[in-house]
Chain A
Amino acid sequence: MAPTSARVVVAGASMAGLRAAEQLRAAGWTGAITLVGDEPHMPYNRPPLSKEVLAGKAPFESLAFRPRASVADVEWRLGTRVVASRLAERTVVLDDGSELSYDGLVAATGMRPRRLRCPGPLAGRHTVRTLADAQGLRAELTRPGARVVVVGAGFIGCEVAATAVGLGAAEVTVVDPLPLPMVGPLGELLGRALLARHKERGVRFALGTGVAGFAGEDRVTGVILDDGTVLPADVVVESVGSLANTEWLGGNGLDLTDGVLTDEQLRVGGRPDVVAVGDVARFPNARYDGVPRRVEHWCIPTDTAKHAAKVLTGAEPAPFAPLPTFWSDQHDFRLQSFGAPALGMDDVRVLEGDPAGDVLVGYHHDDRLVGVVALGGPAIASAAARHRADLLKQPALTA
């Protein structure tokens, strides 16, 4: 057990940081815990930002997590960032220049939105990552007659486009270099079904084109596509992926090429006293091919925190092997996934229903089901859930 003077520093005070603190207590850590986070808020739930918060249906109080009683005594340093670290000295440096020493360190600094780097004004261009982002975007989306261009047809882009249509925006157009929305995580069959559903509900698309720049002087008035076409725009949303917040770990000899590389126990740099959790962690999943990947699903902060807390308190559990799961709510339908569709894109089959209506799609590798995605209402989502137990039971998929 930790001496009472021992301290774990958690860099990052969002969902992953909170869950790490709670799970450290659950794993028996009785020492001090200090969480350092750059946002001024206590940890809150981000999925509603692109939906209920934009739609004006969710005040902050409804987003805030309710921390467990076991973390009532932890120290929260909010509005503060960790800017550097010296792992050999077990020390992190905060943005006010002060230093914190630690006995254990949890890297939970998450992601920030990637921005488009092309010519044009910045005003009127938004991202959706924080509460402040969503509130700022809402103020502009709700102006009467707003014409909205969403750049990027992934999770956030599709959700924001659906919400904007629901708010009564005059025009909503989604731009993406790929030929179908969410084609990376879903594949072509569901990408086509998703495209049709969005179009039926009033979303326009400009697919197979990138963005060359933004029109306007002080403020964006249009989005210039690769072929020179200008889409008039009062509001632009950039949903073109995210970048890992790892700069503070530089200079320690770590692999930070895309997030923080960990081993199968979520340890960083082979150190027993440093772990990474949440979407900044690039970990091998023992369930699959052993290739380290970052995973930006909502369940990952909780899954990683539970495992990493055991490791940081001295246990050696079986290698980390979460079953991936994600969902996305758009318009009046939901996407619900279990397993790893990305590993079964070469053999995609309709398991139930029809792509024109509610549908359940299976993704196979060597004739074995490795992932399912449901598109539609609650009944088809339940059908996806019925495959979860089988996906959990399967032996590891080796490359």
Chain B
Amino acid sequence: MMHLIVAPIVLPAVVAAFLVLVLRHDLTSQRIVSMGATLALLAVTIWLYLSATDGAPTSYQLGDWRAPFGIVLVLDRLAALMLLLTALLAVAVLIYAMAGWDKAGRHFHPLFQFQLMGLNGAFLTGDVFNLFVFFEIMLIASYGLMLHGGGARRLRAGFHYVAINLIGSTLFLFAVGLIYAVTGTLNMADLVGKVAQIAPGDEALLRVGALLLLVVFALKAALVPLQWWLPSAYAAAPGPVAALFMMMTKVGAYSIVRVYTLVFGADAGAVADVAAPWVVPAALATLLLGAVGVLASPTLLGLACFSIVWSMGSLLLALGLFDQGGLSAGLYYLLHSTLSGAALFLLADLVRAQRGRIADRLVPASLLPHAHLLAGLFFVAAIAITGMPPLSGFLGKLLILDATWRGPLAVASWVVLLGTSLLVIVGFARAGSTLFWKVADRPPEPVEAARSVALPVAVIAALLGTTVLLSLFAGPVTRELTATAQQTRDIKAYVRAVNPAALAQSRSEPR
């Protein structure tokens, strides 16, 4: 029965291969198969989430090789939550892409499925080296998706993106090598015991390994000073791809939570809480820089990108506390910021397509064809993202403020989070009024082909609808997330699920 745990990885992999080998020339059947597979994935992840909510983490040992030696997948509430969020976002993005973007180049659907495989694998794996492998799968697919449609600007931004991630992968391997060299294992559950009993001479090496790993995850999560790649890459990527990439930054945040709660958490002996002094200050810097970027952006996509940087700052401000309150607040904000950020990217793409040559530059143009509809959506999206009442962004921010109050740097966190929120609100208000209210007296721009906006608008509205639902059902959702945070911080339960022998053994034999 629990073979379904491996389905979120196997299903996209098989479907992607099938799409590229058999259905390579037939877009219609590609769309049908891709959509069917993604819906099936959604069904599987819902089932996995439900089965994860009642009880302890479950592990799946591939090929039945025992845990520290074989490859192991672990399904707990946190992993199941991320899987469910990925599948939800994937369905929305895929529907949007079918309105035209998937025709812009070849192999959109196989790459999309491979991307899902990498994301799901990264959330499920219980092994640091496999985390590297799934990061690579995810990144390789993302290179293809980012360049989808071609063009000089995209190529140039793509080269930067690939180069920075290649360097990131190299650092990841250095970190993995260091950790393996001193502990002799890369299985996360096995690492828990081994890290705590590290030989005194190896502490420095392990600390370097742990912090190098943090650099890699911070690069993925776009934490200052490693955020420079994000605005140019996301702005150059096609709209639906940028929306899916919302999940890529979250993988970085997820990895930080997983590794620095489980392996280098409070019980890690000499390297206990090794990440804690770094994440919160970096998150504060990220908030500042993101807000300034939002104010300074000359384009709508640039604004969206910097608002993502800003939201990653708020997210890691909460997650960086590494305590119960911070984790559950952060998870609520993570759900909110993923869905509303994706909606903003899709909306920016739609607006750009409607404005012809002016594209998404924030200058007055002639009246948009569907101005009222788009302006309404932008208004809702702006309220959600900037965190104004009554939508989920506001509740998420309240939860974060409440969580930071008990942590270190409480005053700085409040001042920076509230101050930058104001800047972001100003930025969004200015962008919205320029886009939708200031009408220049000039002939309308020729728009390529009058695409139907019904389907894209429906997708964006649905995504924004989920943030409304998040705020309506905030009570039950936060209760679920509190349980998720509790389980994530229960290291013993995780180890017991993966490798029962390790718990007993870890106290007896230091390497």
Say whether A associates with B: no
Which B residues fall within an 8 A CB radius of A? none
Residues on A lying within 8 angstroms of B by beta carbon are none
